[in-house]
Amino acid sequence: GAAFQDPERVRALATAIAQAVRPGKRYRFMEFCGGHTHAIGRYGLAGLLPEAVTLIHGPGCPVCVLPAGRIDAALALAARPEVILCSYGDLFRVPGSARRSMISARAEGADIRMVTSPLQAVTIARDNPQRAVVFFAIGFETTAPASAAAIKASLAAGLTNFHELVCHVLTPPAMAAILAEEATAATDVRPRLDGLIGPGHVALITGMAPFDRFAQSNGRPIAVAGFEPTDLLQAVLALVTLTNEGAARAVNRYTRAVTEAGNTTAQALLNEVFEVKASAEWRGLGMVADSALALRPAYARFDAEKRFPCDLPPPQVNRACRCPDILRGLIAPEDCALFGRSCTPSDPVGACMVSSEGACAAAYAYGGRR
């Protein structure tokens, strides 16, 4: 709301940040979440910060981090005549191999339906008992509880034709993977991050405990933030202060929404249906340990990949697309040769231009940060 965009409060926070900055010191903070990337662009927040503070976009866009192979897997399922594939709308234009997408597959006759919640897919399964319905379950901790609820609902309804293609991933392991890269010789392109702006919508569900653990084990501060200008500026102010103190702590700067414990009902649901997978592939980050969810053995029959096993060739991706480097914060969208030329929101080459949370889409809509 308006109070969180109040120009006077915004100016006061910008001034406080400028005063907190130590002379000669540089501060580099990554906003993990794509929702934050968009808010920063939309409100021009980078321009309000002192020279010494740089905000670097992170990989926190669920659509963007999905490897092309997962799109290929969804398209292979949708190609089966008995399957109805149900997906959130923001995945429809994401290219898999050879720029094929759910849009093009649908044009070729696949039965792919847009849903806004997994429960809608359960209803479609109930209404089509002769077909197999597959819900393309993607997202961070934010959306995983709804995917778990859909499994429970289809179980309660006695359905045997509802399945999920589970692609849920977890945020703290990805943040740790980003920091771990700093220790490798190959990534001296991006200077060390001083701290992270934590994803507010994820913390709503998880509470602060995963972020406390993250800060402790990675030696970097993290400030969980909301999505309004004053939320983000408060988080930046907290990170400057924590950096000055050398304090690797997690702080909650979204207290009107995020509680210490989080949504314990959603957590219980998620833990009942899903378990943490040993490792999973992220676009850009590669294999990340303990970073994704899989159905627990008791729910294995809901697993679309077990119901319809298929061996796909490795995905073919457009090597000119720099999404993998964008997702790691190594380059800015404008550094990609295709940006704004052959890659635009109406004709996207990579996932980072497709998603409303993608860094390339944000830079295209609001301009770059330099």
CB of 242: closest distance to ligand SF4 in angstroms? 32
Q: Does 339 bind ligand SF4 (CB under 6 A)?
A: yes
Question: Out of 94, 175, 242, 349, which residue is the one contacting ligand SF4 (CB under 6 A)?
Answer: 349
Q: Which is nearer to ligand SF4, 266 or 362 (CB)?
A: 362
DSSP 157: T
Question: Out of 357, 360, 362, 369, which residue is the one contacting ligand SF4 (CB under 6 A)?
Answer: 360
In degrees rounded to 5, what are phi and psi of residue 123?
Answer: -60, -45
CB of 360: closest distance to ligand SF4 in angstroms? 3
Dihedral of the alpha carbons of 198, 290, 314, 311, in degrees to the nearest 10: -130
Number of residues that bind ligand SF4 (CB under 6 A): 14
CB of 309: closest distance to ligand SF4 in angstroms? 31
Return the residues of window 305-334 that contact ligand SF4 according to CB under 6 A. 321-323, 326, 333
CB of 338: closest distance to ligand SF4 in angstroms? 4
Stretch of residues binding ligand SF4 (CB under 6 A), selected from 146-154, 177-185, 217-225, 349-357:
349-357
CB of 327: closest distance to ligand SF4 in angstroms? 9
Structure tokens of 353?
Answer: 């231009």
Q: Which residue is nearest to ligand SF4 (CB)?
A: 350
H runs (alpha helix) in 157-249: 171-181, 200-206, 209-218, 229-245
**Cβ–Cβ < 8 Å for 197, 31:** yes
- Measure the CA–CA gap between 210 and 276, rounded to whole angstroms: 14
Structure tokens of 196?
Answer: 């992270």
Question: Are β-strands 132-139 and 112-114 bridged in parallel, bridged antiparallel, or unpaired?
Answer: unpaired
- Measure the CA–CA gap between 229 and 220, rounded to whole angstroms: 23
CA distances from 259 to 182, 188, 262 (A): 31, 37, 5
CB of 358: closest distance to ligand SF4 in angstroms? 7
Q: Which is nearer to ligand SF4, 14 or 326 (CB)?
A: 326
Stretch of residues binding ligand SF4 (CB under 6 A), selected from 144-152, 162-170, 226-234, 337-345:
337-345
Site string for ligand SF4, 271-310 (x = CB under 6 A): ----------------------------------------
**Cβ–Cβ < 8 Å for 53, 87:** no
CB of 95: closest distance to ligand SF4 in angstroms? 9
DSSP 292: E
Q: Does 338 bind ligand SF4 (CB under 6 A)?
A: yes
**Cβ–Cβ < 8 Å for 172, 180:** no
Treating both helix axes as pointing N-terminal to C-terminal, what angle do 264-273 and 144-156 enclose, rounded to 10 degrees?
Answer: 60
CB of 90: closest distance to ligand SF4 in angstroms? 14
* Coil, helix or strand at residue 181: helix
- Measure the CA–CA gap between 107 and 163, rounded to whole angstroms: 23
Question: Out of 295, 353, 355, 357, which residue is the one contacting ligand SF4 (CB under 6 A)?
Answer: 353
Q: Which is nearer to ligand SF4, 12 or 320 (CB)?
A: 320
Q: Which is nearer to ligand SF4, 98 or 268 (CB)?
A: 98
Binding residues for ligand SF4, rule: CB under 6 A, are 321-323, 326, 333, 336, 338-339, 343, 349-350, 352-353, 360
